[in-house]
Amino acid sequence: MSLLQAIIFDVDGTLADNERDGHRIAFNQTFSAAGLDWIWSERDYGKLVEIGGGKERIRHYMATRDMTIRDIAMRGKTESQSKSKETLEEILKEQEQADLRVKISDRFGDPARTEELELDTWVQQLHGVKMNLYQQLIAERRIPLRPGVLRLLQECRQAGVRLAIATTSALPSALALIETIAPDAPDWFEVIAAGDIVPAKKPSPEIYQYALQQLQLPASVCWAIEDSEVGARAAIAAGLPTLITVNDYTRQADFSGATLVLSDLGERDRPIQVLGGTAAGQVKDGSWVDLALLRRILWSSAAPN
């Protein structure tokens, strides 16, 4: 068996830098549509991205402010209804999906209804609206892939290296971004492990363990490519050689145990910066990540001392 059989990619922040200008914007639009006065700034969201999963971020945000469903329900009904209506008209003015309008209006037209909902149900509904708005943003903005992503994906396909996804994002959100690569791009990946397919989100290794089980491969013949500390911890705990491509939110994170920490995957005309990792000495600034490099590092780690 070849030492490199598969690469497992994270999605958000790894395939594209879509956290700040994709997910964050969709969250804020959803909060406004719901009559909430929550606004997640770029700085706030930089902290929230270390919480795996969108629903978990909402719960975390509420918990850190000792906020309950009753607190939300007790907000001024007239003000919230007026704000919700006005914002909905603005957000949905160009929406062709009438069902989304109905869903948001039904869920958030009367904030007192939230008193009857359990927290999990309410968060699930709120996050469902956010996913719809995020998918629209992705379709409209066509957020570009990060350097080297498409090149490496194409090289893997040509060489027969298998591809998989392991992400805490909900499946519809993950697919929305993957489809910006190419209409058939979801078919490039043998496994798309997303959202709540496992009980525990990253930094638990469960999502990677699930992907490995579906691939029927040991971790030693695969790479994980991540961008965040929680993602790195999950991949490393699953026993995977882990390559980190940092972004503005994660540049200062602790990536102890990662095999490589790089600026990005690089292009021939846009080489990488090596920032750290246990195999950093095997990579030179001015190069880029390709299968030859990934195979060489796996071979080196497998060779007897």
Helix (H, G, I), strand (E, B) or coil at 194: strand
The two three-digit tokens of residue 65, written as one number: 């402010």
Cα–Cα dist 224/244, whole Å: 8
Alpha carbon distance 68, 80 (integer Å): 17
Nearest-angstrom CA–CA distance, 133 and 22? 9
What is the C-alpha to C-alpha distance for residues 212 and 208, in angstroms, rounded to an integer?
A: 6
21 is catalytic: no
Active site residue 10: yes
How many other CB atoms are there within 10 angstroms of residue 25's CB atom?
Answer: 17
Half-sphere exposure for 182 (CA within 13 Å, toward CB): 11
Which strands, in side-by-side order, build the sheet including 222-226? 191-194, 162-167, 6-9, 222-226, 242-245, 260-262, 274-276
Q: Which position among 10, 17, 227, 264 bears the catalytic label?
A: 10
Q: How far apart are the first and last CA of the chain?
A: 21
Residue in 12, 17, 227, 290 annotated catalytic: 12
- Measure the CA angle with vertex 68, ends 100 and 53; round to 5°: 55
| Cα separation, 218 vs 8, whole angstroms | 12
203 close to 52: Cβ distance less than 8 angstroms: yes
Read off the tokens for 71: 């607190």
Q: What residues are labeled active site? A: 10, 12
